[in-house]
Structure 1
């Protein structure tokens, strides 16, 4: 319905193009649009059971055995013919049962995941099956919901969505309703929601812009359907073996017949003898043995809650030589805890026995204190607390947190350091994966402060000085050396910077100008503990000859 990018349009343009309104579509409009728009992902048509059974007889080795059955019957060796045919049928039954069960299991899982949507039509809210949505429908989504179609957000309230299914990034993405003028990759279209992704926080009002196969998830489904089916390594080897056996059998049959005729034997007698030898050379038990072994493998996988659709896939899994895995949230618990913080002149260690508010502070001489007489440290804690969108509440020494794990860890660190109250936020420059930083402008008494947090290598070019420092280059090298030392301890390092500006600058400076000529306050180091069993899984992979590969954006030494 629209040749432009939805994320580049403002709300009024989107509503105009979709011919809809905030009160939603009426019944007539919905019926009309449902004739041309289906919110269903077209999957490969289900194969009929009898076709699935017949497909078991299409492998080259099975065709060779069927030919051997016919030939055995033709020459009068009925016992051999019956035996070979029985083996072929048993092989087909085993393969059919496994595939049929797997398809039924997958179908049951799909039916369990039938989503619903809270839609506004004719000004009234109603919960409907997501398959009934059409472009132009106005819907509400909130924490815990699956996005039922591709949508453009009209209003958002602390909305965050986990888009790992599309982008592979486990950290939830903050959404807003502002148009984006520049060409933007999928992962950075912050005003769009995509079918199949999950709302982790907040709520939002959105208009459906694409449904079914026109969604981003639908495009992936179309690519999967168009993918050429290739044979597994085992299927290729068996296919090659079958073709080789055909050549050998024909050669043996011809050679025996020709040699017999040269010796004066009857042509028919030698022809029958050649055929008998050719049939005898066929390993009729091989397909049955392979099927039984693979079926046993499928049963073992089933006990580990893994569904295998086709028997040869078990052998393909056994051929794996490398496994690529995301780090955060996959190999690790995605539960960040700050264990160290440092300004230029002081290093602070946070306790590890509690990830919550009960933790204490210590300095290198092990003297426990509640606060530090260090302005840079105080400003750094205020930056961590205010340049932050997490929601953390503390009751009876326990925290209740909602938001990004990194920001939750920073909030708890600041709380341990004695920061309790948020400053008034005036502006925000949100974090994104290219900038690797976030900034806010806050008002503290009569002063306006810019607080910036992010990767240290991205902050240093924006800074002109370091709090408490003298020689800038030497001070920078000191901080970089500390970062490297912490990274070797598997700590993820973030930097903090600030500057004081006027009220006029707070309102009118561009984003680039706000993040210019900053003063570096310090750094903090946080750790994300590995998931239980990860080390053992890595050890087993290496023992099996599989190379585990970790994919991460962290500092190489941290990884």
Structure 2
């Protein structure tokens, strides 16, 4: 038995793929008999378990603490502390309730999303077949150690990084690591040290899947030392960025905090200068601050985001963190993986060349025609299976061979029937150095040979080809080469099919010679096709001002072909494609200069994908990244929003993402963009409504103080105004449906705030109109009745009715509010009626009369209040009309009209 092991073996002087299989076995002191149990125990103690360090889900306390990371929440907490110090316990309790409700909504949504994502992960028992002490056995893959000999067979997941020692027609799907859709045919010869991961054909990497063939290899790396472990390290080193919404809300909250503090300080100073009582003025300044701070905004934002999450879930997108809902609406670039995201991750025959003619796959094939014979050869040189189950069609075997069976079935050839008609006698398996596979079949008492493989290799075996009428013709090598080049130029993987006429019956399957003198039957070109609807979704994104780029580990020709089919690039524009090798020669500044003109990044490694994302972000782009493999995870985490695939995506990718697509379809991203923009629009509407009404309150109080009038509203009335009446309507704005033309707008500028500059002018207008109306009604009632309580009640009621009228203005930023049906958002209609109803009830209920210091008002006062409140609608409609007129004139002038 072998296997004492060495302490530095996981870091050899040369990469493992650069060493021969025997050299690797020598380093690890292992062989065909595997390790002895004693050596396994020692190495397990030395190298630890074969597993990646798993990040546990955030604890409930951590998720809850995240809900308080907002400047607006900080302001509310400070306001609550101040009101407690002033012994205004009712006010402090109300503010505390606001903060608690906001935290609980966010906590519930994030925990629910986390549970949904973890439910997508499939439970897999990690088992590996190894040779130890000369015996084959199954062990928990976490117990593997360097030097173990691992056996590989179809369907097995490679449990650790292996240097292969034997490979018989061994093909491995490494798309999880490289993004390359086609399985990799393995061989044993050592490679140059600088060989990139996707081309290391003598290695098998942890997490990849054996699609066909058999082999075995020596474990050279386990756990964190594997390529998967290296990617996990990249993920840990990658810092998550704040979302655009978090940045905007932070700036907005700081501005509001400073403005409110300045306004309150000014009110306090003015009141004292005019002879007001110190304690009363301080209490008024605090109440004014609490009233002017949009306490309802955190809840309104959280409710809006939660509704966006709910709507996205209906459109196949699970959002794991609330701020990410809006991020897609701000996205300017989507960096998409190709395999499994833009494409189906399923090889499909697209085009055939037979009888000197090209035609699309799926055409009916008549026996005896070149098309039929080419498809027949694809079935008979094939070990794959397609079959029906209760859950639909399934397949097993090499994806390329599955594609050949599917193409034949689509043309009317039933694989099981023709295999029964041509019983297998012998076969020659595919080997990289051979570049073909052959199948000798029994037919009419003799044998027939069918061959498939690389076009140039098959052409060497042929002397004739089938003419269009099915007769034999001399082989036109130039025409065959031209046809194969044309198919490859369209990004297709090309296989040639050939066959022999009936020949003498063979007696010994072991004595089959290399085929020769064959007839070329045709060519089949295949690729992993685009998903249905993806091209249209990319066009939708383009119309929304979002640029889509492809970032893949696949070959440049294949990636460019798919990109051309999806409308991403012009096939005649080679500058739009950048390979990983070319990218490696660029420094960061050069890469930043190139990214605007590159649409396809091919043959890239995980660290290259990170560099591309960083270069785009350095140019001010808001980047969303989609992907499903472990290789995508670092970029998913680094992007403003990472979008992982839920069905075929890996757990690592899902854990690194902000959003998970449950249908693995890029089409769902366009829907998510629309929902993200609707979500932000509704946040903006709620913010505009709350800030404009807060501005009106501050202006009215300040002007009243400057005029030497009594206080327009008492502190309790200010809190009632802010927390109860408009507190219903701002939440209802979260239910506003998306506006028309939402996906025809360009993305919002990165430096644009929650409220853009034009809306600040409208806020000032609304503040002045509402403050003037409230002051006028206060003065009218005070002069008429001489009762301060009655005047304050009228002022409070005027502001309440102003808010009920003004909330309609907030529904549409540019067009007339009268173009939107009140029934389009029934929640807002109910909330507005409820706010008025609650206030009217408070005027006539003794308990609230006592708390708020209000009294009933007569019908004449109501008849004055309503027309005055409607002036805010007139003012905003005029403002919109003027702005639309100016914009139209500028557009005409710019277009030369």
TM-score (norm 2): 0.47
Is 1:208 the counterpart of 2:214? The answer is: no
Partner of 1:453: 455
Deviation readout 1:397-451 (Å, 9 max, x if unpaired): xx998424289549978x99x9x99999799656xxxxxxx95699x9xxxx998
CA shift for structure 1 position 5:
0.8
Partner of 1:463: none
Is 1:22 the counterpart of 2:17? The answer is: no
| CA contact 2:163–2:203 (8 Å) conserved in 1 | yes
Is 1:403 the counterpart of 2:398? The answer is: yes
Is 1:148 the counterpart of 2:159? The answer is: yes
Partner of 2:300: 289
| CA contact 2:154–2:397 (8 Å) conserved in 1 | no
Counterpart selection for 1:171 from 182, 189, 195? 182
**Which ranges in structure 1 are unaligned for 5 or more consecutive residues?**
362-368, 373-377, 431-437, 456-465, 499-519
- Describe how 1:433-512 pairs up with structure 2 within 5 A: 439=435, 452-453=454-455, 468=476, 479=482, 483=486, 492=492, 494=494
- Describe how 1:368-379 pairs up with structure 2 within 5 A: 370=369
| CA contact 2:385–2:397 (8 Å) conserved in 1 | no
Decide whether aligned partners of structure 1 residues 221 and 347 sit closer, same or farther in structure 2, where only a CA change above 3 A counts.
same
CA shift for structure 1 position 67:
0.9
Partner of 1:309: 320
Partner of 2:53: 42
- Secondary structure of 1:310's match? coil
Counterpart selection for 1:553 from 549, 559, 563? 559
Counterpart selection for 2:75 from 48, 55, 64? 64
- Secondary structure of 2:319's match? coil
- Secondary structure of 1:314's match? helix
Deviation readout 1:87-127 (Å, 9 max, x if unpaired): 11111122222333444455555572342212222223332
CA shift for structure 1 position 224:
1.0
- Secondary structure of 1:36's match? helix
- Secondary structure of 1:205's match? strand
Q: CA separation in 2, counterparts of 1:311 and 1:412?
A: 45
Q: CA separation in 2, counterparts of 1:481 and 1:124?
A: 48
Decide whether aligned partners of structure 1 residues 299 and 30 sit closer, same or farther in structure 2, where only a CA change above 3 A counts.
farther
Decide whether aligned partners of structure 1 residues 41 and 393 sit closer, same or farther in structure 2, where only a CA change above 3 A counts.
closer
Between 116-125 and 521-530, report the one with greater CA deviation.
521-530
Q: CA separation in 2, counterparts of 1:279 and 1:531?
A: 53
Deviation readout 1:365-391 (Å, 9 max, x if unpaired): xxxx5369xxxxx9xx79x979x9854
Q: CA separation in 1, counterparts of 2:527 and 2:62?
A: 54
- Secondary structure of 1:94's match? helix
| CA contact 1:392–1:411 (8 Å) conserved in 2 | no
- Secondary structure of 1:118's match? strand
CA shift for structure 1 position 146:
1.6
Counterpart selection for 2:353 from 335, 341, 351? 341
Counterpart selection for 1:235 from 246, 269, 294? 246
CA shift for structure 1 position 205:
1.2
Partner of 2:817: none
Q: CA separation in 2, counterparts of 1:412 and 1:481?
A: 18
Paired residues, what number?
A: 487
Partner of 1:505: none
| CA contact 1:453–1:494 (8 Å) conserved in 2 | yes
Partner of 2:19: 9
- Describe how 1:382-397 pairs up with structure 2 within 5 A: 391=383
CA shift for structure 1 position 86:
0.7
| CA contact 1:339–1:349 (8 Å) conserved in 2 | yes
Counterpart selection for 1:189 from 168, 189, 200? 200
Decide whether aligned partners of structure 1 residues 492 and 26 sit closer, same or farther in structure 2, where only a CA change above 3 A counts.
closer
CA shift for structure 1 position 73:
2.4
CA shift for structure 1 position 394:
11
In terms of fraction of residues, the more helix-rich structure is 2
Q: CA separation in 1, counterparts of 2:265 and 2:298?
A: 26
Q: CA separation in 1, counterparts of 2:159 and 2:523?
A: 41
| CA contact 1:351–1:360 (8 Å) conserved in 2 | no
TM-score (norm 1): 0.71
CA shift for structure 1 position 85:
0.8
Is 1:256 the counterpart of 2:267? The answer is: yes
Q: CA separation in 2, counterparts of 1:526 and 1:150?
A: 30
Decide whether aligned partners of structure 1 residues 303 and 211 sit closer, same or farther in structure 2, where only a CA change above 3 A counts.
farther
Decide whether aligned partners of structure 1 residues 67 and 558 sit closer, same or farther in structure 2, where only a CA change above 3 A counts.
closer
Counterpart selection for 2:191 from 180, 191, 213? 180
**Which ranges in structure 2 are unaligned for 5 or more consecutive residues?**
1-8, 388-393, 441-450, 458-473, 499-519, 552-557, 567-897
CA shift for structure 1 position 76:
3.8
Q: CA separation in 2, counterparts of 1:65 and 1:302?
A: 31
Q: CA separation in 2, counterparts of 1:200 and 1:371?
A: 30
| RMSD between superposed Cα atoms in Å | 4.8
Decide whether aligned partners of structure 1 residues 302 and 407 sit closer, same or farther in structure 2, where only a CA change above 3 A counts.
closer
Q: CA separation in 2, counterparts of 1:46 and 1:394?
A: 40
Q: CA separation in 2, counterparts of 1:201 and 1:528?
A: 18
Between 71-80 and 107-116, report the one with greater CA deviation.
107-116
CA shift for structure 1 position 178:
2.6
Name which one, 1 or 2, has greater alpha-carbon Rg.
2
Q: CA separation in 2, counterparts of 1:392 and 1:197?
A: 19
Partner of 2:712: none
Between 402-411 and 181-190, report the one with greater CA deviation.
402-411
| CA contact 1:39–1:211 (8 Å) conserved in 2 | yes
Partner of 1:138: 149
Q: CA separation in 1, counterparts of 2:124 and 2:429?
A: 42
- Secondary structure of 2:168's match? strand
Q: CA separation in 2, counterparts of 1:76 and 1:27?
A: 74
Decide whether aligned partners of structure 1 residues 223 and 14 sit closer, same or farther in structure 2, where only a CA change above 3 A counts.
same
Partner of 2:133: 122
Between 187-196 and 247-256, report the one with greater CA deviation.
247-256
Q: CA separation in 2, counterparts of 1:58 and 1:251?
A: 24
- Secondary structure of 2:109's match? helix
| CA contact 1:43–1:225 (8 Å) conserved in 2 | no
Between 254-263 and 549-558, report the one with greater CA deviation.
549-558
- Secondary structure of 1:131's match? helix
Partner of 1:299: 310
Decide whether aligned partners of structure 1 residues 114 and 59 sit closer, same or farther in structure 2, where only a CA change above 3 A counts.
farther
- Secondary structure of 2:51's match? coil
Q: CA separation in 2, counterparts of 1:483 and 1:14?
A: 42
